């Protein structure tokens, strides 16, 4: 019994720490971008309704994270934290799905990422942090990018879809802030995912009663892949990568997710990159990068 464990430990020790962190980080970023592609493919392609996709995604994430948490032997989080996090997690997941019935993968990822980062920066401001010039400049650029994306015109994304995705991003930002108190991130996420299932079942039941629920075999496969691999396993990989990343680097590498999602949308979903989205992306992501660097210097 000891042989395989020793072998795995020896192999892991043989991988340089920097290379291991880089590999884990790259895998997590690709998986996070894939979430947008999988959701958009299922919902934009008519393979599932938003509530069915959300239920299957959360079920897949529950299974994957539960297996990882059990394998690691993590400690269970306090019930109050788990239920509170579950409510916010469900708000993110259903908003994410509803938004992707109306916006492209690249646009959705950009709005989601901007809302997550700006909500977390906002929480820091409410906590008493006082930004300096570079941070204010970055925040202003990011806000300007969102304004550019929302301006009237033929290339403007669907307004309702955009608002839904911004709400999903704010919910994810709050979920991340709540998770900072957790001693074991994987176990806490596993518990939160499991507690979202009654909420997801209720939403799916309401959709079914209204005759709006539908899902094909392709939709089931896309949702379960999104939940188990691009969400559950990806979160576990990301938490492992964070051990080798500082807070600043962790925030900056996440700038790649909207870029990867937009590129994937063009390559795999036949979406188009507009000049509006490119300009907004440069402003939003560049502004967040400046704000993050400004916080690091302070």
3-state secondary structure string across 197-215: HHHHHHHHHHHHHCCCCCE
pLDDT of residue 127: 79
Domain that holds residue 95: 25-297
Burial of 297 (0-12, 13-18, 19+ CB in 10 A): exposed
User: How far is Cα 249 from Cα 180, in angstroms, rounded to an integer?
Assistant: 17
Is the CB of residue 14 less than 8 Å from the CB of residue 246?
no
Q: What is the torsional sign of CA 127, 186, 203, 219?
A: positive
List, in sequence order, the alpha helices (H) in 210-274: 217-225, 234-242, 247-253, 256-269
Is there a domain that residue 229 lies in?
A: yes
User: How far is Cα 2 from Cα 131, in angstroms, rounded to an integer?
Assistant: 53
Is there a domain that residue 99 lies in?
A: yes
Is there a domain that residue 160 lies in?
A: yes
Is there a domain that residue 239 lies in?
A: yes
Element (H, E) at 292: helix 275-297
How many domains in the chain?
A: 1
User: How far is Cα 227 from Cα 209, in angstroms, rounded to an integer?
Assistant: 25
Is there a domain that residue 111 lies in?
A: yes
Is there a domain that residue 50 lies in?
A: yes
Is there a domain that residue 141 lies in?
A: yes
pLDDT of residue 4: 46
Structure tokens at 148: 């550019």
Structure tokens at 71: 């394998």
Is there a domain that residue 179 lies in?
A: yes
Burial of 77 (0-12, 13-18, 19+ CB in 10 A): buried
User: Which among 69, 110, 116, 76 has a CA at the least distance from the CA of 92?
Assistant: 116
* Cα 109 versus chain centre, distance: 8
pLDDT of residue 134: 84
Structure tokens at 271: 């979406």
pLDDT of residue 253: 87
From residue 26, give the alpha-carbon distance in Å to each of 8, 17, 132, 185: 22, 14, 31, 20
Task: Split the chain (298 residues) into runs of 10 and give each run's mean pLDDT.
Answer: 45 67 94 97 97 98 94 69 89 98 95 89 77 84 90 81 96 88 84 96 97 97 98 93 79 89 95 92 92 75
């Amino acid at each position: 019994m000891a042989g395989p464990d020793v072998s795995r430990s020896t192999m892991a020790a043989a991988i340089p720490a920097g290379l291991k962190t880089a590999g884990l980080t790259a895998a997590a970023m690709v998986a996070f971008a894939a979430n947008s592609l999988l959701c958009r493919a299922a919902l934009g392609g008519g393979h599932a309704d938003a509530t069915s996709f959300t239920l299957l995604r959360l079920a897949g994430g529950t299974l994957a994270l539960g297996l990882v948490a059990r394998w690691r032997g993590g400690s269970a989080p306090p019930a109050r934290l788990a239920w509170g996090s579950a409510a916010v997690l469900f708000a993110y997941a259903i908003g994410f799905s509803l938004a992707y019935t109306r916006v492209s993968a690249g646009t959705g990822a950009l709005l989601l990422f901007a809302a997550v980062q700006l909500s977390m920066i906002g929480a820091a401001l409410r906590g008493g942090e006082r930004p300096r010039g570079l941070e204010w400049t970055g925040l202003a650029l990011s806000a300007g990018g969102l304004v550019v994306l929302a301006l009237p015109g033929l290339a403007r994304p669907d307004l309702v879809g955009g608002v839904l995705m911004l709400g999903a991003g704010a919910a994810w930002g709050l979920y991340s802030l709540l998770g900072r108190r957790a001693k074991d991130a994987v176990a806490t996420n596993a518990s939160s995912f499991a507690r979202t299932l009654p909420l997801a079942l209720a939403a799916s039941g309401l959709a079914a009663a209204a005759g709006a629920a539908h899902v094909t075999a392709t939709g089931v496969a896309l949702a379960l892949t999104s939940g188990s691999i691009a969400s559950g396993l990806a979160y576990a990989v990301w938490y492992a990568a964070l051990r080798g990343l500082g807070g600043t680097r962790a925030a900056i590498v996440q700038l790649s997710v909207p870029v990867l999602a937009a590129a994937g949308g063009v390559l795999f979903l036949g979406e188009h990159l507009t000049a509006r989205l490119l300009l907004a992306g440069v402003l939003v992501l560049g502004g967040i990068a400046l704000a993050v660097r400004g916080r690091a210097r302070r």
